Chains A and B, each alone.
Chain A
């Protein structure tokens, strides 16, 4: 077979006419007859979608569609699409449907769903609709093979869908579709165009205007077909600018096409002039109307040819630019495979089943190794049934003996025993006591080792310093004065801050309003403390209660100095205690607590 990729000019001599083969008398029997039947079957197949539409109209639209002629509508659809085709555009779906709906209403004025008729007809022409969408129409025909009769499948399309740069769909009619319109399978478009003009001219001369209009219409379709063919050839040439012989072939192709188009244009002008003269001389109004109609058809052809001529000139310019650019790259190295000629084209020509192997190979080569997927059913079941792991927020589970578990350094300065011993001593403060006395208590504990004893004294001193708060002294003094004035002045809830300040020092806590906060009040004594490791000013500590709510009843006792007041539990009612205040002028280390803590009542172990 010849190279399908070589640019060929339209040469009527070189093209086989299938009808020639079919009409050879010597072929009317045996295998050849089968072949000729196949050719005819193919020719008829192009119109089958139209017949199918008509045959199925009952199923598509029921009784309401009985008056419609779907074959006509099908022709009209192809017609509308073909006439709107340009070099690189086509008809919009909605326009075609609207045109079909108009014709459908002419066919049946009572029709209600004319738009749906248009949709169904268009759908029937675009695709096979039998199986999956997006596939062509199919037909079966017979041929004669080595084993006798073979039924073969044959695919074709009438209307094809495309998307333009804006993403809008449009339709184009294929060559077979236009052949259906013309009612013939004429392969050589150029010769047919010339013949058509001769016929047209003759018809005009003889005044057969009705026939001339039909001929003009066919001429128009041929110019559309011609454009289709040219477009394909030029597109191919532009894709392969450096293919040997392409440049010359494109030049010749374009020149030839230009000459043809100009000739057609001139012939059409001549015919139009003739028709105009005929019209002007005619007296019959019908003849005049037909002449006008013919002129309209011919002028449409003329516009089409003008447009084609401009497009051809542009195509040649574009092709030359592409060619020059490619040549600048220099000759290719001989050691590389030609991706198109040696790979792509043979694959396209190969049978599907064979090309399939290549598809698998290509996919494997171009895919990086993938981690194996989970394919074992047992594993999959286990994975799907596994309980969701919890504790994600906490990080990974730590295993026993895991290296992640390490001993951390002990950062505490004092051990629990030391804290317990100091807590016990501080809790035991029931009356005014000196720090030096407390130090003596902790160091005198019989159970302590020398280290522990030193640590206890150290911790005790630190806690005393921690609890020592001059601001507290100030507030207490103020409260004492106020209580002396009105008898029930207390530090209110806001005084909780006071409680907090000192409360952190021991077991005393600043509670909610209405609860007592126990605290210790330290103040300097002016004496010297020297207890071995501890050297400095001695402090006095007074146990105290802070009441956070006013209590007029208890206020009377508030200012009552004196040690060992009645136990709180004996107080009537749950009323909070007023703040006890220590007499300002009392000698500090002798000062009685304003309110003695009941013995051991609050000093927990």
Chain B
């Protein structure tokens, strides 16, 4: 029996590098060689997938600048759970802290890549500060509050079902900052959670601290762009659809993109007209409710269409192809 093939050895090396999120290929000649050869070595790709799969990992992407981006599968021995990261958020009913973490992360993505096109621009270095992020989320929450009130929507949770509290209300209730009796910052506030989350993103090689200004200012590293590009439109989007009570076709799990999700040509084609009207619509639209350009809306998916309709103001035209369920 012959020894392990070169592909197998290289695959294992790549998996090893994938466990070092802060290591850049440019810092390690071997790593650099592997990521450069990656596109032209289908055998290596297959071997890497196999090794990662067997270990309970998912190779999200291999990028020449960011390196191998991977994460642990659910219940894999390599998985670090959110409860291990936020010890005080381990208790079953500490939803608020965990959701505040998720909101922080998504808001950081949004602020680092304000335009969907930024995800395709390898030269773009996004910036985000803790203060800006908190202000941004607070403003979103206030608008949701105002809208719920204006619409007479009842969003208060039953006393015995705190899990039904809306995420934005939980964020607001937490408070931005609180002065402890000795004048320091309380750790339960959103600003404490935001600082913690951004620090963790630094540990994961997603961000890099630029300065202490504005509560901590951060720059994006290549890994963040690759991660967001790869998971935002598939795994995360799919879970968000599930939040709205709509299971998309296709099984759950991070490995498969949602059928008809952003990224498919059909959806892109259907939306060309609307997207092309973007700037013009922005200039000219008035109170009449000009057609909203819906960048990247997954037009072919019924469930997505349904959610989208809920997201849009009343009276906005249906996304082409988005037949209601």
- A: which residues have CB within 8 A of B? 1-6, 8, 14-16, 93, 126-127, 132-136, 140-141, 143, 150-155, 157, 160-163, 165, 169, 232, 235-236, 239, 242-248, 252, 323, 326-327, 329-373
Please determine whether B281 and A244 come into contact, CB atoms closer than 8 angstroms: yes
Please determine whether A368 and B20 come into contact, CB atoms closer than 8 angstroms: yes
B192 CB to nearest chain A CB (Å): 8
B142 at the interface (CB under 8 A from A): yes
B179 CB to nearest chain A CB (Å): 5
Identify which of A15, A161, A348 contacts B175 (C-beta below 8 A). A161
Q: B115, B160, B205, B215: which has the most chain A beta carbons within 10 Å?
A: B115
Please determine whether A143 and B99 come into contact, CB atoms closer than 8 angstroms: no
The distance in angstroms between the C-alpha atoms of A336 and B136, with both chains bound, is: 22
The distance in angstroms between the C-alpha atoms of A311 and B185, with both chains bound, is: 30
B141 at the interface (CB under 8 A from A): yes
Please determine whether B314 and A336 come into contact, CB atoms closer than 8 angstroms: no
Stretch at the interface among B5-13, B30-38, B39-47, B290-298: B290-298
Please determine whether B102 and A93 come into contact, CB atoms closer than 8 angstroms: no
Chain A neighbourhood of B175, CB < 8 A: 127, 134-136, 157, 160-161
Chain A's closest residue to B74 (CB) is A364
Chain B neighbourhood of A239, CB < 8 A: 136, 139
A207 CB to nearest chain B CB (Å): 40
Identify which of B177, B254, B312 contacts A162 (C-beta below 8 A). B177
The distance in angstroms between the C-alpha atoms of A563 and B231, with both chains bound, is: 104
The distance in angstroms between the C-alpha atoms of A356 and B167, with both chains bound, is: 9
The distance in angstroms between the C-alpha atoms of A5 and B142, with both chains bound, is: 10
The answer to whether A332 and B278 touch (CB under 8 A), given A248-B285, A341-B311, A360-B98, is yes
Please determine whether A362 and B284 come into contact, CB atoms closer than 8 angstroms: no
The distance in angstroms between the C-alpha atoms of A6 and B315, with both chains bound, is: 12
B115 CB to nearest chain A CB (Å): 5
Chain B neighbourhood of A127, CB < 8 A: 175, 178
Identify which of B148, B235, B292 contacts A365 (C-beta below 8 A). B235
B19 at the interface (CB under 8 A from A): yes
Give 18 new A-B contacts, CB below 8 A, not counting A160-B176, A327-B282, A349-B168. Answer: A3-B316, A134-B186, A135-B175, A154-B156, A155-B169, A161-B177, A242-B279, A336-B116, A337-B116, A348-B103, A352-B99, A353-B95, A355-B102, A358-B243, A362-B106, A365-B71, A365-B254, A372-B78
Please determine whether B268 and A334 come into contact, CB atoms closer than 8 angstroms: yes
B199 at the interface (CB under 8 A from A): no
Please determine whether A2 and B147 come into contact, CB atoms closer than 8 angstroms: yes
Chain B's closest residue to A126 (CB) is B178
The answer to whether A242 and B166 touch (CB under 8 A), given A133-B180, A334-B272, A359-B82, is no
Identify which of A15, A152, A368 contacts B21 (C-beta below 8 A). A368
Query: Of residues 148 to 192 in B, which have CB atoms within 8 Å of A's CB atoms?
Result: 148, 150-154, 156-160, 162-180, 183, 185-186, 188-189, 191
The distance in angstroms between the C-alpha atoms of A161 and B153, with both chains bound, is: 28
Enumerate 21 A-B pairs (CB-CB under 8 Å) in ascending A order: A8-B146, A93-B179, A155-B169, A157-B172, A157-B175, A161-B175, A169-B177, A247-B283, A331-B295, A333-B120, A335-B233, A341-B311, A344-B106, A345-B140, A350-B166, A350-B167, A351-B166, A356-B99, A359-B101, A364-B254, A367-B204
Chain A neighbourhood of B281, CB < 8 A: 244-245
Provide the B65-96 mask, 1 if CB < 8 A to any CB of A, else 0: 00001111010111111101100000000011
A231 CB to nearest chain B CB (Å): 9
B29 at the interface (CB under 8 A from A): no
Provide the B185-216 mask, 1 if CB < 8 A to any CB of A, else 0: 11011010000000001001110000000110
Chain B's closest residue to A372 (CB) is B77
Chain A neighbourhood of B127, CB < 8 A: none
Please determine whether B71 and A366 come into contact, CB atoms closer than 8 angstroms: yes
The distance in angstroms between the C-alpha atoms of A248 and B288, with both chains bound, is: 11
Please determine whether A4 and B148 come into contact, CB atoms closer than 8 angstroms: yes
Please determine whether A343 and B232 come into contact, CB atoms closer than 8 angstroms: yes
The answer to whether A343 and B293 touch (CB under 8 A), given A135-B174, A153-B157, is no
Please determine whether B110 and A339 come into contact, CB atoms closer than 8 angstroms: yes
Chain B's closest residue to A339 (CB) is B110
Please determine whether A343 and B240 come into contact, CB atoms closer than 8 angstroms: yes
The answer to whether A366 and B110 touch (CB under 8 A), given A15-B150, A239-B136, A338-B116, is no
Please determine whether B296 and A2 come into contact, CB atoms closer than 8 angstroms: no
Chain B neighbourhood of A126, CB < 8 A: 178
Identify which of A347, A354, A368 contacts B18 (C-beta below 8 A). A368
The distance in angstroms between the C-alpha atoms of A354 and B162, with both chains bound, is: 12
The distance in angstroms between the C-alpha atoms of A135 and B172, with both chains bound, is: 9
Please determine whether A365 and B60 come into contact, CB atoms closer than 8 angstroms: yes
Identify which of A2, A161, A252 contacts B151 (C-beta below 8 A). A2
Please determine whether A5 and B143 come into contact, CB atoms closer than 8 angstroms: yes
Please determine whether B106 and A347 come into contact, CB atoms closer than 8 angstroms: yes
The distance in angstroms between the C-alpha atoms of A349 and B145, with both chains bound, is: 10
